[in-house]
Structure 1
Amino acid sequence: MNWENKSFYELSNDELYDILKLRVDVFVVEQNCPYPEIDDFDREARHFFYQKDGQILAYCRMIPPGVKFKEASIGRVITHPSERRTGIGSLMLQEAMDFIDENWENCDVKIEAQAHLQAFYSQCGFETISDEFLEDGIPHVEMLYSI
């Protein structure tokens, strides 16, 4: 499995389009949550994804420490509907954590996870550090992976 790891400016037009389409299809349309999906963090982030036959099947973005939080951050974690429950999400998260560990040394990772996904992130080593809060009408929690 070959993972792509690119800065915003290294993405091809087609890759950027496919990433944004998948994010909007799931986070805005499927979850019925109108919100500003494209934000000011994409240009600062590393975009980490797997594609097969020209289709993005798994994606997340890694934000360096000091940009969104004092810690590094992983967000927009998504798998294509056809790939859910195959283990690709866990694999992607581990690969992303390995990148952060190797490139942003001694750096904790903070995420804002949808509350119903706490068990998934807990299995990956994250601990819940906040009460539930609403983000764009969806319950979330802050979680931390400590190095």
Structure 2
Amino acid sequence: MSTQTSHQWLLTPGDQVSVEQLHQFLLLRSAVFVAEQQSPYQDVDGLDLSPSACHLRGIQGEDLLAYARLLGPGLVDDDIHLGRVVIAPIARGRGLGDALVAEALRHARRTWPGSTITLEAQSHLQSLYARYGFTALGEPFDDAGVEHQRMSLALG
């Protein structure tokens, strides 16, 4: 992967994701969450290809630098769910995490105004989400060996 700072954001509904795109998403998610963080979990959950799912990608050329998945209301429950938020190791330290969350929230506000968005943040990233107005719900919990905190935000 190149280390230039220019990238573009692409948003793809789940029912329009190509096999190659899905493969790229799963490779990055597995490389970071399962291999790097040593957190074996069932990533393939049957929700990626739903028409109510949206895949947000920060790309540079063919390289996937940043990724997040949004699940629309009704897919899991009445909330929007932001998850699978990940930055490629080579792209870290460039502010892409903040940019990815901001872009995901822009899309959610446009698409589902007035909804609530929830996520399960790795505890060490709780302050990132708090900067955007997310508040903690309940107590931290273990998810496949990694401490997480459920958080929510009412979208205006």
Q: Normalising by structure 1, what TM-score?
A: 0.93
Displacement after TM superposition at 1:17 (Å): 1.2
Aligned to 1:6: 12
> Per-residue CA shift, 1:20-62, capped at 9, x if unaligned?
1000000100011121111122123101101112110000000
2:152 matches 1:144: yes
Matches of 1:51 and 1:2, distance apart in 2? 5
Matches of 2:120 and 2:74, distance apart in 1? 16
Cα RMSD between the aligned structures? 1.3
Structure 1's unaligned 5+ residue stretches are: none
1:1-147 correspondence runs (5 A): 1-44=7-50, 45-147=53-155
| Count of residue pairs brought into register by the alignment | 147
The answer (yes or no) to whether the contact 1:133–1:141 under 8 Å persists in 2 is yes
Matches of 2:21 and 2:63, distance apart in 1? 9
State the SS of the aligned residue for 1:76. Answer: strand
Matches of 2:139 and 2:108, distance apart in 1? 26
Q: Normalising by structure 2, what TM-score?
A: 0.88
The answer (yes or no) to whether the contact 2:137–2:149 under 8 Å persists in 1 is yes
The alignment-based identity, stated in percent, is 31
List, as ranges, runs of 4+ consecutive aligned residues in structure 1 with deviation greater than 6 Å.
Answer: none
Matches of 2:10 and 2:103, distance apart in 1? 11
